[in-house]
């Protein structure tokens, strides 16, 4: 079996696709990479919230899945919309890397907990809103582009630090620049952060699907991501909305899901934790979302949507 792997061409995306290639190889499957540019890679002068969050990093890969140019598409799980068109599906999630965000800087003395004011580069509405909530003395600078571009901007002095997913920083070998790991209890990450997802079109042969699942899918991560993604789907989030959720798997086959919403100005933050059996991951995600909506999330979402 030979698998054509579609991927974006950023260094992080290629690292992730090569990681999938290694896993496939261990399972006896050969593969090749097909590099594809997406709107999210090409349009760098507008914020993600303005381009429209749905599928900016995924549309072009999905087109090629449909026409059979590629067999699978590899994505950061975080970049995938919470609901997919009915002819496409996610068949596997890799074992999750540490899910937390990190502060990255050349200045080792910086800390979010300190009293010193400094500028943080980020383009994520979740990170901006959370910084306003927890660190109102800090300012943010809108910063798009891949990791290498952002670090160049940091070095040019456009900001003093970056707030990034640990997973990407680690995969790109920038661990030396991490000055602080943020606790997930406060800075709860975006849905899916740290895992890599495999997307296919319904037309892919079932024996290929089964072979790929067997070597790639990490079942505890999958259960966690099903819960998180159900939460996001119920909120109809997408990455432009400052929602967050992270599930933990415990050895007794249960998952605990923490998630919520934060207003764009950081003044209101709703967060709750629900636990349940892993077979009910999707239900757990929906129930948590319902609860958040009832507790004022509904109104908060309307406000957020009217402001973006």
Ligand X SMILES: NCc1[nH]cc(CCC(=O)O)c1CC(=O)O
Q: Which residues are catalytic?
A: 78-79, 126-127, 144, 150, 239
Residue carrying structure tokens 């997973």:
167
In angstroms, give the least distance from the CB of 167 to ligand X: 4
**Listed residue (234, 260, 264, 228) closest to 47, CA to CA:** 264
Among residues 79, 160, 180, 199, the one that binds ligand X under rule CB under 6 A: 79
Cβ partners under 8 Å of residue 34, min gap 6: 4, 5, 6, 7, 64, 69, 70
The contact pattern for ligand X, residues 178-217, with x = CB under 6 A and - = no contact, is ---------------xx-----------------------
CB of 1 to ligand X, least distance (A): 27
Non-local (6+) Cβ contacts of 63 within 8 A are none
Q: Do 126 and 165 form a contact (C-beta atoms < 8 A)?
A: no
CB-nearer residue toward ligand X: 79 or 228: 79
Q: How far is the CB of 162 from ligand X (least distance, A)?
A: 8
Integer Cα distance of 78 and 229 in angstroms:
9
For ligand X, the closer CB: 120 or 287: 120
Q: Work out whether 38 is an interface residue with ligand X (CB under 6 A).
A: no
When the beta carbons of 17 and 164 are compared against ligand X, the nearer one is 164
Q: Judged by CB under 6 A, does residue 78 bind ligand X? A: yes
* Axis crossing angle, helix 11-26 with helix 206-216, rounded to the nearest 10: 100
Q: Using the 8-state DSSP alphabet, how is residue 296 labeled? A: I
Return the number of the residue (127 or 287) whose C-beta is nearest ligand X: 127
Contacts of residue 14, defined as CB under 8 A and 6 or more positions apart, other chains included, come to 7, 8, 33, 35
**Are 207 and 263 in contact, with CB atoms under 8 Å apart?**
no
CB of 154 to ligand X, least distance (A): 13
- Site mask, ligand X, residues 138-177, x = CB under 6 A? --------------------------xx-xx---------
Residue 82 touching ligand X (CB under 6 A): no
- Is 81 a residue that touches ligand X (CB under 6 A)? no
**Nearer Cβ to ligand X, position 146 or 287?**
146
Q: How far apart are CA 250 and CA 236, in angstroms?
A: 27
Q: How many chain residues are in contact with ligand X, going by CB under 6 A?
A: 9
103 binding ligand X? (CB under 6 A): no
Cβ pair 253, 278 in contact under 8 A:
yes
Nearest residue (CB) to ligand X, 123 versus 287 = 123
Cβ at position 146, least distance to ligand X in Å: 8
Find residue 32's DSSP bridge partners: 4
Among 197, 166, 146, residue whose Cα is nearest residue 17: 197
Helix (H) or strand (E) run with residue 285 in it: helix 281-292
Distance CA 162, CA 147 (A): 10
Footprint of ligand X on this chain (CB under 6 A)? 76, 78-79, 164-165, 167-168, 193-194
């Amino acid at each position: 079996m030979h698998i054509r792997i579609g991927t974006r061409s950023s260094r992080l995306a290629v690292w992730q696709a090569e990681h999938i290639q290694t896993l496939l190889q261990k399972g006896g499957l050969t593969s090749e990479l097909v590099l594809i540019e997406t709107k999210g890679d090409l349009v760098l002068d507008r914020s993600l919230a303005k381009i429209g969050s749905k599928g900016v990093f995924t549309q072009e890969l999905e087109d090629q899945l449909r026409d059979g140019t590629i067999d699978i598409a590899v994505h950061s799980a975080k970049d995938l919309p919470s609901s997919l068109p009915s002819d496409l599906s996610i068949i596997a999630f890799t074992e999750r890397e540490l899910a937390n965000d990190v502060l990255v800087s050349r200045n080792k003395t910086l800390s979010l907990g300190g009293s010193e004011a400094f500028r943080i580069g980020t383009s994520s509405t979740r990170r901006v809103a959370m910084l306003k909530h927890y660190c109102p003395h800090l300012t943010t600078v809108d910063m798009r582009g891949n990791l290498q571009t952002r670090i160049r901007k940091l070095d040019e002095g456009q900001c003093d630090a970056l707030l990034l997913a640990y997973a990407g920083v680690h995969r790109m070998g920038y661990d030396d620049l991490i000055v602080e790991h943020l606790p997930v209890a406060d800075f709860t990450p975006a849905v899916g952060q740290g895992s890599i997802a495999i997307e296919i079109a319904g037309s892919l042969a079932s024996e290929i699907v089964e072979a790929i699942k067997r070597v790639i899918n990490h079942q505890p991560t999958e259960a966690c991501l099903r819960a998180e993604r159900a939460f996001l789907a119920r909120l109809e989030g997408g990455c432009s909305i400052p929602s967050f959720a992270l599930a933990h798997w415990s050895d007794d086959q249960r998952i605990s899901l923490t998630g919520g919403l934060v207003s764009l100005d950081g003044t209101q933050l709703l967060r709750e934790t629900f636990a349940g059996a892993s077979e009910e991951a999707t239900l757990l995600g929906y129930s948590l979302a319902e609860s958040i909506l009832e507790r004022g999330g509904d109104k908060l979402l309307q406000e957020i949507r009217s402001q973006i």
